[in-house]
Amino acid sequence: MQRVIERSGQSAYLLLCTMTDGKGVPLEKGERLGKVAEELEQAIRNSLRRGDMFTRYSDNQFLMLLLGIRQEDCAIVVERINGYFEKASRKNYLKYSTAPISEIREADDCAHFHNMDSMWGE
């Protein structure tokens, strides 16, 4: 996918969403995590554009690939996800981070995610 993006000249970002408790600690396995994950998956499904992709990355995380987007526009995607997320109070239980695809050079490189709170002051 990275080679396709490089050839086309498109920009792309990874958006990582972590489900946390009220103190910012990632949620552990349990009934609450399962319910929040179902609601969040539906919110993500409703929020992404046709060419974007997402996957359940771990028990408490979703990873999204956003194509043809600028870093500043990732905040718009976050707002859409939060808007579809069922309970407004639960928005505080989501932590978002981004990483540009262009920084990943080799197949074994790791993405270095940047916390969106420090980038946009949310």
Q: 53-58 and 114-115 as β-strands: parallel, antiparallel, unpaired? A: unpaired
CATH number reported for the structural domain that contains residue 31 in this entry: 3.30.70.270
> Please, which pLDDT band fits residue 118 given cuts at 50, 70 and 90?
very low
pLDDT mean across residues, the chain: 82
Residue 66 belongs to domain spanning = 2-120
Q: Which of 34, 25, 52, 40 is nearest to 91 (CA)?
A: 40
pTM, two decimal places = 0.80
Location of structure tokens 């060419």: 51
8 Å CB contact between 57 and 16:
yes
How many separate domains does the chain show? 1
- Based on DSSP, count helices (H) and strands (E) in the chain, helices before strands: 4, 5
pLDDT digits (tens, 9 = 90+) for 5-55: 777 778 889 999 999 887 888 888 777 788 889 999 999 999 999 989 999
Check pLDDT > 50 for residue 75. yes
